Amino acid sequence: MLLDDLNVEQRLAAECNEGPVLIIAGAGSGKTRTLTYRIAHLIEKGVDPFNILALTFTNKAANEMKERISELVGDKARYIWMGTFHSVFSKILRIEADRLGYLNTFTVYDSEDSKGLIRSIVKEFNLDEKVYNKSFILGRISMSKSNLISAQDYIDNPTFASEDRSINKPYIGQIYREYNSRLRRAMAMDFDDLLFNMNVLLRDYPDLLLKYQEKFKYILVDEYQDTNYSQYYIIKKLSARYRNICVVGDDAQSIYAFRGANIRNILDFQKDYPDSKIFKLEQNYRSTKNIVNAANSVIERNIGKIEKKVWTDNDLGKKINYKECDSDKNEAKWICNTIVDRKLNDDAKYKDFAILYRTNQQSRSLEESLRFMNIPYRIFSGVSFYGRKEIKDVLSYFRLVVNNFDDEAFLRIINFPSRGIGETSLNKLKIIAAENSISLFEAAMTLDSQSGISTRTVQLIIDFVTAIRVFTLELSKIDAFELGVKIISKSGIIKFLKNDEDPISAERIENVEELINALQAFVESEEDAILDELTGEEISLNNKTLDVFVQQVSLMSESDRDDDKDDDRVSLMTIHSAKGLEFPYVFVCGMEENLFPNVLSLGSRVELEEERRLFYVAMTRAKKELALSCAQMRFRNGQMAFNEKSRFLDDVDPKYLSDEFFNSKSSKKSNPFAQETNFGLSPKRKLSKIDLPLPKPIGGVPVESMEDFSEGMEVCHDKFGLGKIVCLEGKGDDMKAEVMFESAGLKKLVLRFAKLKLKK
């Protein structure tokens, strides 16, 4: 029998095919296996694979799952609609593009494209780029779209207007509206639009809602705890007709609230579907008993959770290793020495080790120590292959060929390599485009002697757009590899890189050559036909075209990385980047108050519980050994900080910790720096209010912007008196400060509410 390979609870979850189902899958409990067998079981029972929609958060996860299903049910697996939210709904949006007034060759902007567009708008609005920081504005727009708040909704909302004025950014709504207008003019969507516009389709076109409800009779969602409001709404609408909705996830691993993920989606699933069945996968196949039980003892401290008890039949294993060091430099040395010891005594390989940290800044001392000891390593979350400059340059040529309206691609390559087209001429071209509400490419095609641009430059621009148009006409005539090679050759990028004296130019040429290999692999892949998206009828593909290649590349998510398991190097990464991975040996460093948990999370129970879930995720990455470490002193933001041990260390049941933890229990009391400065004062040890003399109000100089504050600055507060800013974190209305007051001690303040003034 197909399901005989599953344990009892996995099998029950896989067999329950009708109605709403919630599968709570603990860390290492075989979640992917259960989901795979569930889909295979549906097909074996006669469900048409064309009627199955399976949504994941990475293309890699979708491809791996489809391969596993193929092993179970054969070729039928290729007919399943399976992929990331963005890739699946992008496909639907291209099919239904005309309903929204888009071409089906629309471009998908990545964050760099979006930031470039926002920067241009801020500049054109004559606003201060430091105040209207492009990353902050994009984050605001992204969060709005994720919550289905349109630009006009944003502008009309008095609460948003009031908040924006309070942080000295009253024009965010207007920037949002112009940003969307420019996207549409460029026949482009950003990643959030793929979900926002899918909701628009289902909301405004009842015939399409019915069409896709009939199409997707069985819906399965992986990592449901990571879904945002927009994703939640799409799933709810699509599943409303047949209600065969199965969601899989773990509330204990919900760590992406900063990206818009809403843990309430999984916690409230049974409220949304009162007749739903719930299955709990609690057997951990990954870690030792000590690691599993230690992690359980941490997560049980959270109030907002679904009750479960993860357990394992694996060996007891070693207790959790612990080390308290006097500095981050010595912490890094200890980690490196431990790696060398395990490698020699346990016959381990470097790739068996992962060092996890809360913030990217912590990697510096680790890298220095690893290099000093000649330990090979790699850092995750670096620039991906498709994010490298030379690759984005080539892809911008491809994008403009596929979509002539793409303004960001146009601006990136119009003068790269240099054609002698200057900034002044481009600004005049932008004015022409804006005045006529057309794309830059269209404006370029209409240039004449009356444009105010020199005759020579006009001819250079016309030559460029003509060459692009010639390539566009070849889109449907030749395959992606042949056309891609032509474009690369004609662009002059290879010649430019060969003439460039930069030492890394040779590597950049190799990267372009690798992109050509990717084109060839795409064209030569085994699939020689595609399926009609709705009927399933096979449509012959004599040529695999460049537009399809560009669409696939544009939807590569940050998590779709090449892990290269044969590469024997220690892995360094943030804990967020480690989700979904596992290693025999895991180090979690920087276990200090205000670092982990992060100081910005200390203002509310909800945020603190998310930090605790992050710690749980870090612990459960380990298979064989887990080590926790902290440093009494650490350089942060260019200054030495003196730290208390993280409160999370006290959350771990002591019986699972090594003796070193108990030997260091009193070490902080002997730290003269901690006593002298009072830095890192834990909320547990705050001075009682009755011990604090209330200072008289002190006059000060008001600040015009929160960005006027800096670390080390002397400030005054009406209640707490005089103090000095010890640490600043966050941006915009999220900016928080740690201030050491002379009378009141250390306080953590949200700057937009604190009304701090500069000391006179």
Which of 56, 253, 551, 632 does the annotation list as catalytic?
253
How are beta strands 107-109 and 188-190 bridged, if at all? Answer: parallel
Which of 15, 32, 211, 759 does the annotation list as catalytic?
32
The residue with tokens 């757009």 is: 465
Tokens representing 442 are: 């269209």
How are beta strands 700-701 and 714-717 bridged, if at all? Answer: unpaired
Across 94-112, b (16+ Cβ under 10 Å) vs e yields bebbeebebeebbbbbbbe
Is residue 169 classed as helix, strand or coil in its secondary structure?
Answer: coil
Q: In terms of C-beta density within 10 A (0-12 exposed, 13-18 middle, 19 or more buried), how is residue 192 classed?
A: buried
* Sequence letter at residue 14: A
Residue 265 has phi, psi (to 5 degrees) of -55, -45
Which of 222, 251, 393, 547 does the annotation list as catalytic?
222
54 forms bridges with which residues in the sheet?
Answer: 82, 220
300 labelled catalytic: no
Residue 174 CA to residue 130 CA, distance in Å, equals 17
32 labelled catalytic: yes
What's the count of helices (H) and strands (E) in the chain, helices before strands? 32, 24
| CB-based contact 719:680 (threshold 8 Å) | no
The residue with tokens 């992917």 is: 32
Residue 64 CA to residue 211 CA, distance in Å, equals 29
490 labelled catalytic: no
Q: What angle do CA 448, 451, 452 make, to 5 degrees?
A: 125
Angle of the 455-473 helix axis to the 480-491 helix axis, nearest 10:
160
Tokens representing 702 are: 């008001």
Cβ-proximal residues to 367 (8 Å cutoff; 6+ apart), any chain: 377, 379, 572
Which of 10, 11, 31, 84 does the annotation list as catalytic?
31
Which of 169, 621, 736, 748 does the annotation list as catalytic?
621
How are beta strands 633-636 and 639-642 bridged, if at all? Answer: antiparallel
520 labelled catalytic: no
| CB-based contact 297:601 (threshold 8 Å) | no
Residue 14 CA to residue 8 CA, distance in Å, equals 10
Residue 58 CA to residue 559 CA, distance in Å, equals 6
482 labelled catalytic: no
Tokens representing 142 are: 């992204």
Asked whether the bond before 697 is cis by omega within 30 degrees of 0, the reply is no
Which of 178, 223, 226, 738 does the annotation list as catalytic?
223
Active centre residues (catalytic):
31-32, 222-223, 253, 621
